[in-house]
Structure 1
Amino acid sequence: MASYLVTGSSRGIGHELVRQLAAQPASEVSTIFATSRSVNAPLQELAGQHPGRFILVPIDVTDRDSINKAVERVESIVGDKGLDVLINNAGVVEWGWLKDMSDLNDTFNVNVTGPHIMVQAFLPLLRKGSMKKIVNISSSVGSIAKQPVYRQVPAPSYKITKAALNMMTVLYAQELADEGFTVFCVSPGWLRTNDANAHADLSVGTGVEGVLGMVRNAGVEVNGKFLNIHVPGWENNPGFNQYDGKELPW
């Protein structure tokens, strides 16, 4: 039985992560801590469907006080068993061109500093857990090597911060390797999370299924790696994105 904490669970990828986790038998997923800045009706519905197992925890990843309070709440529930898996999913993206970029600091605080503070705060509980996994939700558009492919994607602050998140993942992977941790980042693909992404490659369910498969099955062999989900039939897609389950270039 494993316990999971997911940030940014009120919508999009985060909500689908906690929904799919809750659908797993309790023998595999014991407790889901669904965290977000505010609780909405879909989260409340899931909590009602899985009482005592699906726990709503307020967290603003830019607010250290809210994170510290969340640690106390989670610790009161898991006790000496600790927390098994932390999934840093909360993130923001602003659309525009480099010449107009004015949101870099705010985006950095959510996409990079937020996961850093989360790891720092929850590390004592993760050390007590049996799985010791930290998963950072990244994006292939954060790959420096692939920027010739994604040059026309107008999201400079998102690209910059995801590249920084990737580096931070490597640093934590190196720092915690001797303690048996597995720290990696994964790109869930271009997903149809809302109307603005209605023309994206994959459904959010497909992308999240790929992510959770990696979380469950990956061991220390993927520590410090930048992974791509695997979607059968998309391995050699002629478009921007291929989903082959392999490592993405930095």
Structure 2
Amino acid sequence: MASYLVTGSSRGIGHELVRQLAAKPASEVSTIFATSRSVNAPLQELADQHPGRFVLVPIDVTDQDSIKKAVETVESVVGDNGLDVLINNAGSANPTRSDLNDTFNVNVTGPHVMIQAFLPLLRKGATKRILNISSSVGSIAKQPVYRELPAPSYKITKAALNMMTVLYSQELADEGFTVFCVSPGWLKTDAANAHADLPVGTGVEGVLGMVRSSGVEANGKFLNIHVPGWENNPGLNQYDGKELPWYGLMYGSSVY
């Protein structure tokens, strides 16, 4: 029985994460803290369907005051049991070059501040898992594959998020934490991504499966979801459940 906190839960991947978590039995998922800058109708509907177990918490990951207030709210619910799983999902994917600072604040500084703020509660939790939602386009090694995709600030910040994940995994390893990042795949989250590879439910199911099954052996790793039949897809993306080679440039068969 674990408690989860998910950022950016009002839409897309974040909303599907909290929806699937709420569908799990209480014996598996005790409390879901669904955080977002504002509450929309689908999020409120989930809260109404799962009173007491599904907790709406206002958070803007670029606003440290809102995060501080959120910690107080979560602590008032979990008490000495602490928080088991933190999923840093909130992100920005604006494809322009001029927004690098804003994108960095959401995609990198936001998760960093969230981890720092919730670490005392996570230390009290039984599971001690921190998952950062990343993307395969943040892999330096795979940039020859994704060269034509026009999202420089997104790529840069996801690469930085991967490095931040490794640093926290090293810092917290002796305390029994598992800190890792997962690429959920290119998902059909909205009309703009209607031609994406996978339904959002498929990607999120893969992510949550990794949260449940991954122990300390996943600490510091950048993982890909597994979707049967997509292991050797000839297109841009493959979903083989393995580590993504994020740290070097690929020349031929070598990684430098």
- TM-score tier after normalising by the smaller chain length: over 0.9
Match of 1:58 in 2: 58
Q: Helix, strand or coil for the counterpart of 1:245?
A: coil
* Counterparts of 2:10 and 2:86, CA distance in 1: 16
Q: Helix, strand or coil for the counterpart of 2:144?
A: helix
* Counterparts of 2:245 and 2:179, CA distance in 1: 17
Match of 1:32 in 2: 32
Q: Helix, strand or coil for the counterpart of 1:246?
A: coil
* Counterparts of 2:214 and 2:95, CA distance in 1: 33
The residue type equivalent to 1:247 in the other structure is: E
Match of 2:117 in 1: 121
Match of 2:152 in 1: 156
* Counterparts of 1:211 and 1:23, CA distance in 2: 15
* Counterparts of 2:183 and 2:194, CA distance in 1: 18
Matches within 5 A, 1:221-236: 221-236=217-232
2:12 pairs with 1:12 = yes
* Counterparts of 1:228 and 1:219, CA distance in 2: 16
Q: Aligned to 1:195, which of 188, 191, 206? A: 191
**Once the two structures are superposed, what CA deviation does each residue of 1:130-187 show, in whole Å capped at 9, x if it has no partner?**
0000000000000000000000110000000000000000000000000000000000
* Counterparts of 1:43 and 1:90, CA distance in 2: 15
Match of 2:253 in 1: none
Q: Helix, strand or coil for the counterpart of 1:238?
A: coil
2:244 pairs with 1:245 = no
Q: Helix, strand or coil for the counterpart of 2:217?
A: helix
* Counterparts of 1:4 and 1:147, CA distance in 2: 33
* Counterparts of 1:124 and 1:179, CA distance in 2: 12
2:87 pairs with 1:87 = yes
* Counterparts of 2:209 and 2:138, CA distance in 1: 22
Percent identical residues: 87
The residue type equivalent to 2:154 in the other structure is: Y
Match of 1:71 in 2: 71
Matches within 5 A, 1:92-103: 92-96=92-96, 101-103=97-99
Q: Aligned to 2:101, which of 92, 102, 105? A: 105
* Counterparts of 2:245 and 2:36, CA distance in 1: 31
Q: Helix, strand or coil for the counterpart of 1:35?
A: strand
* Counterparts of 2:168 and 2:240, CA distance in 1: 25
Match of 2:213 in 1: 217
* Counterparts of 1:213 and 1:161, CA distance in 2: 25
Structure 1 unpaired stretches of 5+: none
2:146 pairs with 1:140 = no
How far has the Cα of 1:95 moved from its partner? 1.9
Runs of 4+ in 1 over 2 A off after TM superposition: none
Q: Helix, strand or coil for the counterpart of 1:91?
A: coil
Structure 2 unpaired stretches of 5+: 247-256
What is the total number of aligned residue pairs between the two structures?
A: 246
2:194 pairs with 1:177 = no
RMSD: 0.4
Match of 2:49 in 1: 49
Match of 1:131 in 2: 127
The residue type equivalent to 1:199 in the other structure is: H
Q: Helix, strand or coil for the counterpart of 1:184?
A: strand
Match of 2:254 in 1: none
Q: Helix, strand or coil for the counterpart of 2:104?
A: helix
